[in-house]
Amino acid sequence: MEKFLGEIKKVLNKVGVSGEIDLTTPPNPEMGDFAFACFNIAKEWKMSPVEAAKTIEARIKNYELRIIDRVQAMGPYVNFYLKASELAKIVLGEIQKKGKKYGINNSGKGKKVLIEYPSNNTHKEFHIGHLRNVCIGNSLVQLYEQNGYKVYPVNYLNDFGNHVAKCLWGLIKFHKDEKPPANKQKWLGEIYAEASKKLTEPDALAIKTPGLAEQVGDMGKAEDLEYTVQKYREEVAEIQKQIESQDPKIWKVFMQTRQWSIDKFEEIFKQLGVEHKAVFYEKDLKDKGQKMVDDLLKKGIAQVGEGGAIIIDLSEYKLDIALLRKSNGAGLYLTSDLPLAMEKFKKCNADESIVITGTEQNFYFKQLYKILELIGFNKKLTHIGYGLVNLKEGKMSSRLGNVILYEDLYAEVFAMLKAESVERHPDWSEKKINNNVSVLAMAALKFDMQKHEAAKNITFDAKEATSFEGFSGLYVLYAIARINSILKQSKKSKAKIDYNLLDKPEEKHLVLFLAKYEEVVKSALMNYNPSEITRYSFDLAQSFNDFYNKHSILKAETESLVAARLQLVGAAKNVLENSLGLLTIGTVEEM
RNA sequence: GCCCCUAUAGUUUAAUGGAUAGAAUGUCAGGCUUCGAACCUGAAGAUGGGAGUUCGAUUCUCUCUGGGGGCACCA
């Protein structure tokens, strides 16, 4: 693609256009492949944009042009039409030569980057919001890695916070004698949700429980309720203290439940294709963090605030006040995040550290990075916030009991696709169906999670995510399966490819699209936005389907045309697979 | 109350300040004796209100309205 743009820019330079040249794509292919807008040059030349366009057109006619078929002024634009044969020859040749490496570059050679994700909590559920985090993280890892960076994917498990104390409190108080079910991690998540509910404000409780609604009006009863919540909270605080001091009363059950969570997460990560180079645990960082807080206090960067809590005043940077330590001495997220930043670089020496979390933590990360800056930590730190996964009914909330767990969604999608597959392929073995469907289900989910810009909230619609028509991973996989089928039925031809034969509009459009891939990869990396790849792979599949429906490949008029078209669809398959590869989506031979 | 993000067809969404605002889905009308119909073709359908900057604004600025998030003992 750069080759063509460079060629056009060179020509424009020759006819007197200097400086930065921006080329755009005309709104429709009949108007050319690339366009140069003449508004700025017109000002420079002191004529109207229409006149400038005409002048450029007239001047270009004097030059010999290699890849440009013709040039035409249209209003204030100069439109360039590329030679379809030259285009096809260069693009398809390059794809054939580079194969799996087509589209990527070496921009990251020698550079190292840490990517931390999904940094979830033990003792909690793994829901589809976490799934989105993993999908975005996976794709960023691929984007960096394939472009030559040395990548260290790492995880930070929050196994030591207040949520653990809540969960263990719920476990001990209400489920002590129960036998854990098979899915222990999910069970802990449920207990955590239940415990959170019991610890909420009394009026919130009353709204949830109709029977209590009347009691709120009764002052005496409401006070009782408040007393209970107060008592519950004290018990949780006590448990948290026990955990932090490694009290043998709680340590065994803490370590055991923690391990249940970790085991399950690892199972999920394996299924999703996540490979962490290192995992950090809050448990191991808390003490270091507390020492850092002491140090900050000594240096006068931090201060003692209300009730004896340790704070740091960032209001001169418009970042309010950050809390480093609770008044009862217990740590918070921030307490452990300070040493985490350093430990990460100690373990994996990198030039940049990227952390992926929900956008609700944007402000928190600004505070964290400012504090690290104040203590002289000068590594490049980047926070990528991804939008919430909401449901059609509203926000996911464990308290309201409308959280969609990743495992449940996967099972549902798998079952649906399996039913469809069995119907389509009655001759396939159970094993073949299962293998195939597991790839399809993963493709559908990963694609769906990356359809929209990472920073934007998405509304998850189970019906749409499981319909698999249109803008979906299965659409792309289906295009690939079609190409596979064609390639399988084709005969090997030794004829030299005649690129002049690929002159139909759909063919040229497809080739142009294939050429665009390099730009898309670059842009997705620059914007930390895998959804650009997702959209591209769909558009490319669509471009192929359009061509496929209008022109026959195996039954084309001549043998050399068959060969040329096979080359074209082979290239399309190659690029489709490459783009899905960046999204860590696998493909199937047939479906 | 203060701060940040956001507003595009019925719905989910795309568009470095540039040409006729691009898709998907849903609706309606069509297409398999033809390389795989999980596909394709066609139709109707959108920039929240107001002001400003500009030759030109979905894009930049201000304002109003609506939505989301954050703001010291949550993570």
DSSP per-residue codes, A396-409: --TTTT-PPBHHHH
- Tell me how far apart the alpha carbons of residues A588 and A586 are, in angstroms, rounded to a whole number: 7
Residue nearest to nucleotide B21 (CA to C1'): A27
- Tell me how far the alpha carbon of residue A563 is from its chain's centroid: 38
* Residue A401: predicted pLDDT: 67
Give the residue-averaged pLDDT of A499-528: 94
- pLDDT category, A214, cuts 50, 70, 90? very low
| β-bridge partners, A429 | none
* Residue A127: predicted pLDDT: 92
Per residue in A357-408, pLDDT tens?
999 999 999 999 999 999 999 999 999 999 988 877 777 876 666 788 999 9
| Bases of strand B lying below 7 A from some protein CB | 3-6, 11-16, 18-26, 31, 34-41, 55-56, 68-75
* Residue A35: predicted pLDDT: 93
- Tell me how far apart the alpha carbons of residues A557 and A434 are, in angstroms, rounded to a whole number: 40
Quickly give A85 CA vs B39 C1' distance in Å.
Answer: 28
A116-120, A154-158, A296-300, A396-400: which has the minimum mean pLDDT? Answer: A396-400
Examine domains A2-82 and A406-582 and report if their fold is the same.
Answer: no
Residue A397, CB, strand B, below 7 Å: no
> Using an 8 Å Cβ cutoff, are A365 and A509 in contact?
no
The rounded mean pLDDT for chain A is 90
* Residue A225: predicted pLDDT: 66
* Residue A65: predicted pLDDT: 80
Residue A79, CB, strand B, below 7 Å: yes
Quickly give A386 CA vs B36 C1' distance in Å.
Answer: 38
Per residue in A524-571, pLDDT tens?
999 999 999 999 999 999 999 999 999 999 999 999 999 999 999 999
* Overall fold of domain A2-82: Gyrase A; domain 2 (3.30.1360)
Nucleotide nearest to A306 (CA to C1'): B72
Residues 556-585 of A with CB under 7 A from strand B: none
Quickly give A358 CA vs B69 C1' distance in Å.
Answer: 10
Give the residue-averaged pLDDT of A315-333: 92
- pLDDT category, A216, cuts 50, 70, 90? very low
Residues 494-533 of A with CB under 7 A from strand B: 531
- pLDDT category, A205, cuts 50, 70, 90? very low
A56-70, A104-118, A288-302, A498-512: which has the minimum mean pLDDT? Answer: A56-70
Residue A303, CB, strand B, below 7 Å: no
* Whether the bond into A118 is cis, omega within 30 of 0: yes
Residue A243, CB, strand B, below 7 Å: no
Residue A427, CB, strand B, below 7 Å: no
What are the structural domain ranges in chain A?
A: 2-82, 406-582
CATH H-level superfamily of A406-582: Isoleucyl-tRNA Synthetase; Domain 1 (1.10.730.10)
Which DSSP string do the residues of A95-120 spell out, in sequence order? HHHHGGGTT---TTTT-EEEEE----
Nucleotide nearest to A36 (CA to C1'): B18
- Tell me how far apart the alpha carbons of residues A479 and A540 are, in angstroms, rounded to a whole number: 10
Rounded-to-10 torsion of CA A59, A64, A68, A69:
90
* Residue A213: predicted pLDDT: 39
* Residue A150: predicted pLDDT: 97
**pLDDT over 60 (residue A222):** no
* Residue A398: predicted pLDDT: 67
Terminal-to-terminal C-alpha distance of chain A: 33
Residues 151-190 of A with CB under 7 A from strand B: 158, 161-163
Provide the percentage of residues in chain A whose pLDDT is more than 70: 95
3-state secondary structure A118-173: CCCECCCCCEHHHHHHHHHHHHHHHHHHHCCCEEEEEEEEECCCHHHHHHHHHHHH
A125-139, A310-324, A382-396, A507-521: which has the minimum mean pLDDT? Answer: A382-396
